[in-house]
Structure 1
């Protein structure tokens, strides 16, 4: 048995999840789960504010690409992977040339960097997709002052918080709010 290495597989953009499901089904059907133990789509969870509601969605780091941990020394593994619906082929060293293009494994430094980003994204609850700008008009959508509007005076990106100046009874009052407590006024 050969060595397990990480490879990049190109898939139809926007259909990475479907291609991953097909790959996992084919690998299981052919009894190759020891030769292909992991299929991964590097993604992070991000918050979006839509119509005053907080939604979480997944955003792919590399649209159109799937990572596969596999041992390609076994003859049929790469053929099964490339003949799966939604899979275009392996990322190789001779892109575009058809004659004997051999899949090139990722370097461990690259794999660790990608997996580290994925792990951080899982540990972090979720980041907000739309950062704010100083002076921007925002509406408070959560907390005691829900419904009030104000201007962003400071941004603390590392803590995901904002200082917002809200007029309460005619007086400007500074408030520290998290990104998820406000939304942009349209």
Structure 2
């Protein structure tokens, strides 16, 4: 009797989460007690604070208590000296998200890290945010189409530097970061007329 050869199903690869400067994974332990909390940091020092906290957690052996650190950022296109450049802009400047099991020791470790000024919560009690909120933030971070980072504001006086209306002065009426467009009100024949332009065609006065 010929022996039947059993067909083995190919193993499906599990998704491996990797750390990045924006999302630091200290431990992949799946603790049911872990919740996401938010702390205040010095604005502009979010990444530095996250790295310092990671080092403290590892040196104190608290990897089972502080699991992940998240600095929410979004990719945008910035106009510099007439050139387009991709940059990562912080969605919530001055804030750091931490997935942790809240204990006296983990609270103290986080709270006494240089650059962290306190937990977001009621009084001295840190208030966790929902997983739904964190998932929404992470999806927003992964959006592929980068938005343009504008240096203009609505109502601001600007000069048109390129195109048919070069050297005209006007004021910003609308800004479309997704398309990198700005609508400028230009005085033509004694009346204000809206003109849609690229960010590259407009400069501050």
**Distance in 1 between residues matched to 2:106 and 2:120, nearest whole Å:** 15
- Corresponding residue to 1:81 among 90, 107, 110: 110
Measure, in 1, the Cα distance between the counterparts of 2:68 and 2:140. 17
Question: Is 1:109 aligned to 2:135, yes or no?
Answer: no
CA spacing shift, 1:185–1:63, aligned 2, 3 Å: closer
Structure 1: runs of 5+ lacking an equivalent: 95-100, 163-176
Aligned mates of 1:160, 1:49 — CA distance in 2: 10
TM value normalised by structure 2:
0.59
Deviation at 1:150, TM superposition (A): 9.2
After TM superposition, list the pairs within 5 Å mapping 1:24-173 onto structure 2. 24-73=54-103, 75-94=104-123, 101-120=124-143, 123-130=144-151, 138-139=160-161, 157=176, 159-160=179-180
Number of corresponding residues: 159
After TM superposition, the score normalised by the length of structure 1 is 0.64
| Structure number with larger C-alpha Rg | 2
User: SS where residue 10 of structure 1 aligns?
Assistant: strand
CA 1:161 to 1:2, structure 2 compared with 1: closer, same or farther past 3 Å? closer
Please report the RMSD computed on the Cα atoms of aligned residues, expressed in angstroms. Answer: 3.6
Check whether the contact 1:46–1:129 (CA below 8 A) recurs between aligned residues: no
1:37 offset after TM fit, Å? Answer: 2.0
Flag as ranges the 4+ runs of structure 1 deviating above 4 A. 130-133, 136-140, 155-162
Q: 1:87 to 1:156 in 2, by over 3 A?
A: closer
Q: What is the distance in 2 between the residues matched to 1:53 and 1:108?
A: 39
Consecutive unaligned residues of structure 2, counting only runs of 5 or more, are 1-30, 169-173, 183-196
